[in-house]
Amino acid sequence: MKIIYDPQTDTLSIILNDSPIMESDEIKEGIILDYDKDGRVASIEMLDASENVAEPLGVSYELKEMARAV
């Protein structure tokens, strides 16, 4: 997964995988989902990111522990 913020276009992109994009859908104004050939979401794009994200230049990453099988 890769997160890219472009301050020139004020666009935030979250790339989930490197699959070629086959279709895009603006699900809400300024929120675009890109789909691969199998219909899975490959990336998410947010336009006017600085208006919607508190800190577009900062990223916090959290890994939750998985429950262990007994």
pLDDT higher than threshold 80 for residue 52: yes
Element (H, E) at 8: none
Count of domains for the chain: 1
The DSSP 8-state label assigned to residue 67 in this structure reads P
Whether residue 28 lies inside any domain: the answer is yes
Question: How do residues 23-38 score in pLDDT, each as one tens digit?
Answer: 999 999 999 999 999 9
pLDDT band at 49 (very low <50, low <70, confident <90, very high): very high
* 67 vs 27, more confident: 27
pTM given for the model: 0.80
Whether residue 64 lies inside any domain: the answer is no
pLDDT band at 64 (very low <50, low <70, confident <90, very high): confident
Give the structural domain span for 31. Answer: 2-52
